[in-house]
Structure 1
Amino acid sequence: MSITGAMNAAMSGLRAAARGTELVSNNISNALTESYGRRELALSSMNYGANGGVRIDGTTRHVNEGVLADRRFADAAHQNIQTAVNFFQTLENVTGVAGDSEGLSGRLAAFEQSLITATSRPDAPERLTDTVIDAKRLIEGLVRASNDVQDMRTRADGQIAKEVDTLNTALQQVEQLNKQIITAQARGGSTPGLLDQRQAVLDTIGAIVPINVVPRDNNSVAIYTDGGAVLLDISAATVGFQRQNTVTAYQTIDNGTLSGLTLNGQDLRMSALAGGSLGGQFTVRDTYGVQAQTQLDAIARDLVERFADPALDATRGTGDPGLFTDAGGAFSLIDEVGLSARLSLNAAVDPAAGGEVWRLRDGLAATTPGPAGDAALLNDMRDALDAQRAPASGGFSTGNQSMSDLFSSFSGVLSSTRAGAERDLTFSAARLTEWTDLQLSQGVDTDQELQNLLILEQAYAANARVIQAADDMIETLTRL
């Protein structure tokens, strides 16, 4: 090898060592960056006659696509379950648990105790007033729970709209990144940075909807949902959704008053996008929220019907409302939806509405006070709460239940469902952590990178010594 050839070979070695050192530095600094793929310098030898050297062929990005796909599925499942847990925790905070005086069961117990207290002294106006107050507190609890359920459904509907916007934007970004990667490769440019960006965008999509990422030619990708919908194959699809400003108890996806999803203008089966945070929001809006509203309405109906029994109060006429009313009127069987939000106290006993508390004792339609010591109607009201009857709706047990049993059944099912969802969340979180740790473990190993750095420093020093030796030889030759 000539002196010039040796110097050229050493110079190529210096360039390779410098570029390798840069990659090692990037690897170490991005060791904890989720979407970062470990870089490695691709080298090959070059031989031209007696000359040699090293050629930099590019940068190779290392990512375990199988682990990455499993981590995305785990993330989607975790987001889906987290949405359910948030709903049940919020609903339980509103309706209360056993022993909570501000919960529904606690308010019912307070109303029942007020009736018992009033029965012992029916002549005491303050005891009748307390009974009216506790009856209104019970109503307020049911109204608040119903309103909060619809608020959660409204928020879920709004979150669906936001996630659909994010999904469409991300799909457009992947389409553009595919094109940029193909162009960069055609021009001999470097693509690892673009691949990192695309992985980050795919992770965003994967948290919203479980996806399968399918490789295509020239390092581009196609995206399919786990349910089989094509989100991107060359061109990005457009997911459509119509947001509602306010969701009411009357609105469901089944009766067509709430929007589902479309894909390129065509109706999309919900199962095609099941899982992920988007599917979780749909489940809250269309399943959990509807079920909770149905059960609250069933409880309100049972309460209204117990006190609307014609045998309970002889002063009322046929069809007149009882102590608990549907927005001031009698309850109609065909209008149960949203009853818990319309529940109100009969104005005849409500001083705030011009009524008199003594009508609790003497009858809702009584025109004048009766015997102050007559507790018969108050006793009958208390018995109405304890009467065993089968709930007419709500999906509760078909067995006979008292009013307190019905409230306890609702709270028990809610508590059990919430606890089950939290167990599922714990499992999904552990699974996500394991896959994330595995992904990171197969990414940048800082110890190995530091060893590589030592090797590169030695290579740099060796090539530098070759150049120094060649320079010394040339200098010697020039002095001859």
Structure 2
Amino acid sequence: MSLSGALYNAFSGLNANSRAAGLVSTNISNATTEGYGRRTLELVPGAVGTTGGVRISGTIRFSDPVLTGDRMVADASLADATTRFDFARRIEDLVGESGVPGSLTDRINVFENALLNAASNPASTQRLELVSYNADSLAQSLNALSDEVQAARQTADTSIGAQVETLNNALSRLDALNDNIVAARSTGTDSASLYDERQRVLDSIAEIVPLRVVERDKGDIAVFSRGGAVLLDGSPVEIGFEPSYGIGAGMTFSGGQLNGLTINGTPVDLNGSVLFAGGSLAAQFQIRDGSAVEYQSQLDGIARDLIERLGPGGPDSTLGATDPGLFTDGGLAFLPVNEAGIASRIEINSLVAPDSGGTWRLRDGLGAATQGDVGDARLLQGISDALGAATVPSSSGLTAISRSFANHISEFASSATGERVRAEDAQTFVSIQNAALRELELSKGVDTDQELQRLMQIEQHYTANAKVMSTIDGLFDQLMSI
């Protein structure tokens, strides 16, 4: 081999070592970067007709598409479970722990105790005021719970709109990256950073919808939901959703008052519960159209049961058939056809409201024109008995089993707690699964120890090539001195 050929070989080696060292540095600095794929230099022998050496043909980006796909599905499952758990915990917190002051169960217990105390001394205005105050607090607790349930539905609806916007923007970005990757590969340009960015975009929407990614021959990808919806295949779809504002108890998707999803203008299955199932998007639909609606139905059933127990035909014989009872529908008599949302409208009759001066009617009857015998406790005892009587509720929102009013409250509170426990168990399970997959994915990514060993090898190679060049330089000096 000639001196010039040896010099060329050493120079090509130094160039390759310099590039390889740069990749090692990049790998180490991005060891914990989401979506980053470890790089190595791809080398081939020198071109035909040369004296040898090495030639850099490109950069190899390492990834495990199967493992990454499993991890993205786990991301979606975790987002789904976390969304459901957060909602269940919110409802449980609002209902309160049984027996804790301020909880829903405590409100009914305090109200019943106030009735018993007043019945023991019906002449006490202070005790009658306390009955009025606790009855009003019970109604307000139902109002607050109902309002919070509807607020959760509104939050879910707003979140759906935001997630759909994120999804559309990400699909457009993926389409552009597909074009860039295809162009880069066709010109031989390094496209590893484009692959990293594409994975980051996929990760940004993996929590919203569980994805299935198919790579095409030219390096571009097609994206589908695990439920079978085409999201990107040649061109991105446009997912449509019209948010609602001011969601009320009577507004439902099935009733046509709330909107579902569309793909390129065509409505998808129901509200997307099949095609987009498994991620945070489907979880928000479940809250808006499922869980929260069920909670509202139970609250309305409880409010209706309370109104009907103490309304016309109940313990107060002074009430006419169309008169509002102790608890009213916004001050009016309750009509069964208006059950939807009654929990948000229930309030104590203004005739016996706190500080109204009419709390004596709790003893003498709402329809009484004047005060009667101050020692008569029959109505107060009758109200207490009506609350404690085991009756079958008229509302379909409650279980059709004979129960006292307090038992209906307890069942609702237990249901909220049970749902939170189930949601927490599910969230814990998928969280552990997700963490395990992430750790496995990182273990197959950049190993800093291995990269440092590689850097030492590169340094040795660099030293060897530099020594060759130094030796050749010395030989040239000797030749020139002859």
Same fold (TM over 0.5): yes
Partner of 1:215: 215
Residue 386 (structure 1) shift? 0.3
Partner of 2:335: 332
Q: Distance between the aligned counterparts of 2:437 and 2:314, measured in 1?
A: 65
- After TM superposition, list the pairs within 5 Å mapping 1:39-438 onto structure 2: 39-49=39-49, 51-269=51-269, 270=272, 271-352=274-355, 354=356, 356-438=358-440
Residue 331 (structure 1) shift? 1.3
Q: Is the aligned partner of 1:463 residue 2:465?
A: yes
Q: Distance between the aligned counterparts of 2:298 and 2:373, measured in 1?
A: 40
SS of aligned partner of 1:475: helix
Deviations 1:374-397 (A, max 9, x none): 000000000011000122235443
SS of aligned partner of 2:60: strand
Q: Distance between the aligned counterparts of 2:210 and 2:357, measured in 1?
A: 58
Q: Distance between the aligned counterparts of 1:383 and 1:136, measured in 2?
A: 19
Deviations 1:186-239 (A, max 9, x none): 221110000000000001111110110011121100000001010000111110
Q: Distance between the aligned counterparts of 1:435 and 1:390, measured in 2?
A: 50
> What code does the residue aligned with 1:356 have?
G
Q: Distance between the aligned counterparts of 1:63 and 1:135, measured in 2?
A: 64
Conserved in 1, the CA contact under 8 Å of 2:114 and 2:131?
A: yes
Runs of 4+ in 1 over 6 A off after TM superposition: none
Q: Distance between the aligned counterparts of 1:55 and 1:449, measured in 2?
A: 22
Partner of 2:481: 479
SS of aligned partner of 2:207: helix
Residue 399 (structure 1) shift? 2.0
Q: Distance between the aligned counterparts of 1:190 and 1:391, measured in 2?
A: 71
SS of aligned partner of 1:208: coil
Q: Distance between the aligned counterparts of 1:100 and 1:131, measured in 2?
A: 20
> What code does the residue aligned with 2:368 have?
A
SS of aligned partner of 1:274: coil
Which ranges in structure 1 are unaligned for 5 or more consecutive residues? none
Which ranges in structure 2 are unaligned for 5 or more consecutive residues? none
Residue 475 (structure 1) shift? 1.1
Residue 91 (structure 1) shift? 1.0
- State the TM-score, normalized to the length of structure 1: 0.98
Decide whether aligned partners of structure 1 residues 50 and 208 sit closer, same or farther in structure 2, where only a CA change above 3 A counts: closer
Deviations 1:398-450 (A, max 9, x none): 32100111000001111011101000000010000000000000000111111
Residue 313 (structure 1) shift? 1.4
Residue 311 (structure 1) shift? 4.4
Decide whether aligned partners of structure 1 residues 169 and 49 sit closer, same or farther in structure 2, where only a CA change above 3 A counts: closer
Conserved in 1, the CA contact under 8 Å of 2:392 and 2:401?
A: yes
Conserved in 1, the CA contact under 8 Å of 2:80 and 2:279?
A: yes
> What code does the residue aligned with 2:117 have?
T
> What code does the residue aligned with 2:345 have?
R
Q: Distance between the aligned counterparts of 1:400 and 1:5, measured in 2?
A: 99
Q: Distance between the aligned counterparts of 1:468 and 1:126, measured in 2?
A: 105
Conserved in 2, the CA contact under 8 Å of 1:241 and 1:259?
A: yes
Q: Distance between the aligned counterparts of 2:72 and 2:314, measured in 1?
A: 62
SS of aligned partner of 1:218: coil
Residue 48 (structure 1) shift? 3.8
> What code does the residue aligned with 1:289 have?
A
Q: Distance between the aligned counterparts of 1:47 and 1:115, measured in 2?
A: 99
SS of aligned partner of 2:218: helix
Decide whether aligned partners of structure 1 residues 65 and 361 sit closer, same or farther in structure 2, where only a CA change above 3 A counts: same
Q: Distance between the aligned counterparts of 1:229 and 1:184, measured in 2?
A: 29
Q: Distance between the aligned counterparts of 1:334 and 1:470, measured in 2?
A: 100
Deviations 1:20-62 (A, max 9, x none): 0000000011111121000011011115446110010100100
Conserved in 1, the CA contact under 8 Å of 2:118 and 2:127?
A: yes
Count of paired positions: 479
Q: Distance between the aligned counterparts of 2:396 and 2:111, measured in 1?
A: 23
Decide whether aligned partners of structure 1 residues 195 and 361 sit closer, same or farther in structure 2, where only a CA change above 3 A counts: same
Question: Is the deviation greater in 304-313 or in 229-238?
Answer: 304-313
Deviations 1:350-393 (A, max 9, x none): 255x5500000000010100000000000000001100012223
Conserved in 1, the CA contact under 8 Å of 2:302 and 2:398?
A: no
SS of aligned partner of 1:236: coil
Q: Distance between the aligned counterparts of 2:275 and 2:357, measured in 1?
A: 56
Question: Is the deviation greater in 48-57 or in 317-326?
Answer: 48-57
Decide whether aligned partners of structure 1 residues 68 and 205 sit closer, same or farther in structure 2, where only a CA change above 3 A counts: same
Conserved in 2, the CA contact under 8 Å of 1:297 and 1:394?
A: no
Conserved in 2, the CA contact under 8 Å of 1:12 and 1:53?
A: yes
Residue 67 (structure 1) shift? 0.6
Conserved in 2, the CA contact under 8 Å of 1:181 and 1:219?
A: yes
SS of aligned partner of 1:431: helix
> What code does the residue aligned with 1:473 have?
L
Conserved in 1, the CA contact under 8 Å of 2:312 and 2:323?
A: no
Conserved in 1, the CA contact under 8 Å of 2:98 and 2:104?
A: no
Conserved in 1, the CA contact under 8 Å of 2:312 and 2:320?
A: no
Residue 335 (structure 1) shift? 1.1
Q: Distance between the aligned counterparts of 1:214 and 1:388, measured in 2?
A: 60
Q: Distance between the aligned counterparts of 1:177 and 1:41, measured in 2?
A: 23
> What code does the residue aligned with 2:372 have?
G
- State the TM-score, normalized to the length of structure 2: 0.98
Question: Is the deviation greater in 467-476 or in 436-445?
Answer: 467-476
Conserved in 2, the CA contact under 8 Å of 1:223 and 1:230?
A: yes
Q: Is the aligned partner of 1:38 residue 2:38?
A: yes
Q: Is the aligned partner of 1:11 residue 2:11?
A: yes
Q: Distance between the aligned counterparts of 1:13 and 1:414, measured in 2?
A: 69
> What code does the residue aligned with 2:320 have?
G
Q: Distance between the aligned counterparts of 1:167 and 1:217, measured in 2?
A: 25
